[in-house]
Chain A
Amino acid sequence: MFLGPGLAFTAVFVAVPVLLVLSYTVFDRGRFGGVEYDFTLDNFTRAFEPTFRKVLVSSLGIAAAATAIALAIGYPVAYAIAKLPERWRSLVLVLIVIPFWTNFLIRTYAWIVLLNTQGVLNDALVGLGLVDERIDLLYTRGAVVAGLVYVYLPLMILPIYASVARLERELPEASADLGGSRFATFVRVTFPLSLPGVVTGCIFVFVPSLGNFVVPELLGGGKTVMVGNLVRDQFLKARDWPFGATLALIMVVLLVALFALQSVVSRRFSVEAGR
């Protein structure tokens, strides 16, 4: 009675659509776009040709770089927040969250304004004498990675903060009581036990980065292509839906593999933590 409408709705407007579009992966594209229902595996052979394989690999690389940088920034920040006195803590958390609730396109756009050859960052670099003439910051792979880190950083900080904050309250004092140094406490106790938060944060950053097509388009100047751009183009420009669906499926399979890895990791560490 309670479940009926919701399950029916989810089945019709989530499960059926996703299955429908996944079924397209084994069909041909029609002469005028659309789908011709002749079974074929050509889409998969095509997706693994060097052209598209290269895009998959470079997308994974860009998403991984963004995730790694977000982690390098996010972990110390989350740790620092957990160490703040209570009343400062919520203020800083609000400050971290505000940009995240600002429209994603606006946040990306801010980087166009910032990185432009005629923009403020170049003004500053030239003004401070750090560079002789204006340099290309925008429309580079670095700009794409920076943009992804920027838009998803809060998604890294919050889960790590959640796990570190809990540990900070409970465990290290016990460890310190037993004579461990701060550093040893961190390395042997806090860090391993915060790993589930780290993994969650990494997934929260990696997943949307991999499928993103707006950041590469706006900050990459069309010179950096990610798998999300290919899927978008196949659906909305080239109208080769079967091939677009195939690329999307490959992306999702990669992500599912990551989820599986995550659940293994978190299970292992929660077992070690004796729970």
Chain B
Amino acid sequence: MRRSGLGFLWVALVGCLLFLYVPIATVVVTSFNSGKSALNIKGLSLRWYGELFDDPDLGHALLNSLTVAVGATVFSTVVGTMLAVGLVRFARSTVLDAFVMAPAILPDLMLAIGLLAFFTWLGLPLGLGTVTIAHAAFGTAFVVAVVRSRLVQLDGSLEEASQDLGAGWATTFVRITLPSVAPAVLAGALLAFTLSLDEFVIAFFTNGPDSPTLPIEIYSRVRFGVTPEINALASLLLLVSVVAVVAGAVAFRRTERER
């Protein structure tokens, strides 16, 4: 392929990567500051990582986030997979599709105020329970999206054959349908889990005061100013997402190759 005259494309690409990484790099570098400032480096140390691990509030917030994410993921995965199968195999309808996908398409703020109003109207006390329900609501939609796209690629002939041979719908589902969509179910579950861990707006509206999730805790700290401790936390979270994305990419490539 000829590449002449396209130099500006490479400039754009490199510029874009700089744009994406310079702010993050700034935070990572300042997190190793030995001084109290989040902005100006005095010397290098791991002091703020130490403080981070000694901070019980952050530990609680992380635990709260994990609790919510696990609950929401289990629910979304089961219900979402069933929905996807139902939508593809039994009831093809664009109206139903749109209905089921609504929580993924609606602006998060809309869902957040709706659920806040609804939980209040029901008299449900706001807390981790209400956040879990809220996260399950949009998590389900994402699981449906992922599983459905896989189901559409498969044709239904195996299932038909299974039923022609006298297997009931339940047997067919467990022995034929489920194994063939298993990778997509796993992918959907991972997506729901990650989105829940990271979600701020809906949790902010549907949570009570006693049990902040990690993003809520981060938000309240960020509002109270820049500190090296937040820089250290940010760097750790960045590390986690680098590992997760790279692992995901490697796994994806491996399954692609196996096909």
Contacts and interface: CB of A to CB of B under 8 A. Distances in A.
Q: Would A and B touch once assembled, by the CB under 8 A criterion?
A: yes
Interface in B200-259: 200-201, 205, 214-215, 218-219, 222-223, 226, 230-231, 233-234, 237-238, 241-242, 244-246, 249, 253
B194 interface: yes
B117 to A, nearest CB: 4
A77 B17 CA distance: 9
B53 interface: no
Nearest to B15: A73
Given A20-B121, A116-B226, A98 B241 contact: yes
Given A7-B83, A113-B39, A76 B9 contact: yes
A211 interface: yes
A94 B116 contact: no
Contact of B26 (A21, A98, A114, A211): A114
Interface in A230-275: 231-232, 235-236, 241, 244-245, 248, 251-252, 255
Contacts of B1: 83
A80 B13 contact: yes
A183 B149 CA distance: 36
B238 A106 contact: yes
Interface in A1-58: 1-3, 5-7, 9-10, 13-22, 24
A218 interface: yes
Contact of A6 (B16, B79, B108, B117): B79
A118 B226 CA distance: 12
A183 B117 CA distance: 54
A6 B80 contact: yes
Give the dominant DSSP class at B's interface.
helix
A103 B237 contact: yes
Given A90-B249, A114-B22, A182-B5, A3 B237 contact: no
| Number of chain A interface residues as a range | 35 or more
A97 interface: yes
B21 A105 contact: no
Given A18-B106, A20-B118, A110 B253 contact: no
A83 B241 contact: no
A105 B218 contact: yes
Contacts of B8: 76
B238 A2 contact: no
A235 B40 contact: no
A17 B117 CA distance: 7
A235 B51 CA distance: 35
Contact of A10 (B99, B134, B201, B222): B99
A5 B40 CA distance: 55
B123 to A, nearest CB: 13
Contacts, number: 237
- Most chain A CB within a 10 A radius of its CB, from B80, B115, B134: B115
Given A10-B99, A94-B246, A102-B24, A77 B12 contact: yes
A153 B230 CA distance: 24
Contact of B108 (A18, A97, A211): A211
A252 B109 CA distance: 10
Interface stretch (B86-94, B154-162, B179-187): B86-94
A174 interface: no
B145 interface: no
Contacts of B19: 73, 150, 153
27 contacts: A3-B82, A3-B90, A6-B100, A9-B79, A9-B136, A9-B137, A10-B137, A15-B99, A16-B118, A18-B111, A21-B117, A80-B6, A81-B13, A94-B249, A98-B241, A103-B218, A106-B218, A109-B226, A109-B230, A110-B24, A150-B20, A150-B23, A211-B109, A213-B109, A235-B113, A244-B113, A251-B109
Given A79-B9, A114-B22, 11 more contacts: A2-B82, A2-B90, A13-B136, A21-B117, A83-B1, A95-B20, A96-B16, A101-B244, A208-B108, A228-B109, A231-B113
10 closest A-B pairs by beta carbon, nearest first, are A2-B86, A6-B83, A17-B114, A17-B118, A3-B86, A110-B23, A76-B12, A80-B9, A18-B114, A80-B13
Interface of B: 1-3, 5-6, 8-10, 12-13, 15-17, 19-24, 26-27, 30, 38-40, 79-80, 82-83, 85-87, 89-91, 96, 99-100, 102-103, 106-111, 113-118, 121, 133-134, 136-137, 140-141, 144, 169, 173, 194, 198, 200-201, 205, 214-215, 218-219, 222-223, 226, 230-231, 233-234, 237-238, 241-242, 244-246, 249, 253
Interface of A: 1-3, 5-7, 9-10, 13-22, 24, 73-74, 76-77, 79-81, 83, 90, 92-99, 101-114, 116, 118-120, 150, 153, 157, 182, 207-208, 210-211, 213-214, 217-218, 228, 231-232, 235-236, 241, 244-245, 248, 251-252, 255
